[in-house]
Structure 1
Amino acid sequence: MPEFRTRRIDVKAAVLPWSRDFLTNRTILWLLFIVNTLGTLYGYYWYGNQMAYTVETQSAWQVVFVPDSPTASLFFTLSLLFLLFPRLSGSGTVGLTVRSIIEALGVVTSIKYGIWAVTMIMAGGAQGDQLQWEHYMLIVSHLGMAFEAMLFVRYMVFGRFMAFLALLWLLLNDTIDYTFFVFPWLPDVLENDLSAIQTFTMGLSVFSLLITWLLIAYRKV
């Protein structure tokens, strides 16, 4: 496992916000951890009505597949803990495997749902859905999800196989979503585009894996 050490430097001295010195600074990591934690909690609150509706009208087990973005954010938030406290995973095989699975899920799902949410909001707006300030807030936050996931791949320990397992989870989630209609509620103007959205969603799952694999290859270089 590559050794990872967080940096204790003056943040003001870091010129580039995507540099190692900046991203691995403990102040930055703690700030991202707090922001992602709050965003995750807000995300589950945002999905609260749909989760309650799913439990009341469908099988309770399906509720797991409803809050896509918050769950992705949760995995990435846990991944930040491993960067802050590398010894959490220990040095054994089991600990490293658990860490790798969480990191892979955090990266692949954050890329997928970050892009997906922005695309759905913009598609709805293009077809006449009235965008409110909440929509623009969601656009910024979901772009942040995808961007930060791609930035931090190089500091994580998971490899291509774990990323592939994350894809399998995404495809399972997609299948459940569009078989039992527990996908995130869409703007009314997109209801007639459900078939195209399903195809786009599953294709985006594969695309997110390919992006992650490319980033892993860049990490090794």
Structure 2
Amino acid sequence: MAGRAAEPEVIWARPERTGRGPKPAYSRADIAAAAVRLADAHGVEAVSMRRVAAELGCGTMSLYNYVPRKEDLYELMVDEVSGEYELPEPTGDWRADMLATARQTRAIMHRHPWLHRVMTTFYASGPNALRYLEACLGYLEPLDVPPGTKLECVAMVNGSVMTYVVNEFAVAERARAVPWSAEQEQAVRDAYLARQLSTGRYPRLAALFAEAPAPPQDPDAVFERAVLRVLDGFA
């Protein structure tokens, strides 16, 4: 069956193109870029071997000579957008370096809203993914913990960023679905919460809000506090 390997394999270990014939017309980078364009424009659901082949101007079966499975196509896409990281040399301040990298992760996920749908730890062996991990380990060199713990730190920061961004997407999607503003909805919810707290059934919450009413939150500031708290756990 086309596109289904009998055994596990790594796309990066395969030649750029299998089969005989003239010099390959496309590179993996060409294929990945075409798939990313489709996903950015129409969502990851629109990415199929047929549509990527049409984007490139080749036959669908020809594309299988380059990419045997759709999962491999996703891996190429993830690595393609991972190439958008700017990874300067370490400054010596590991917290600042990792926070700056987390900001980039958030920005990349916003540029490619489909990314969290296809991310998996299996996709950490592409050239851009390895470049990213190597840079992060360089940033974490001043941190006096075992190497495996440093890798856990990278994973936890990435997980925190993904969770934060997915929530941002959910909030934005809800805002598009209703005819009122976020401020109007927040005011209604604040009023409801105040009524519930006044019942006496939630004394700890009532005391908390009485002492420190929740101020308007700057999403960027909340994001950075969340990442820094994760990093502090490894200090």
TM-score by length of 1: 0.31
Q: Which has the higher contact order (CA 8 A, sep 6+)?
A: 1
TM-score by length of 2: 0.30
Whichever of the two has the greater Rg, that structure is 2
Higher helix residue share: 1
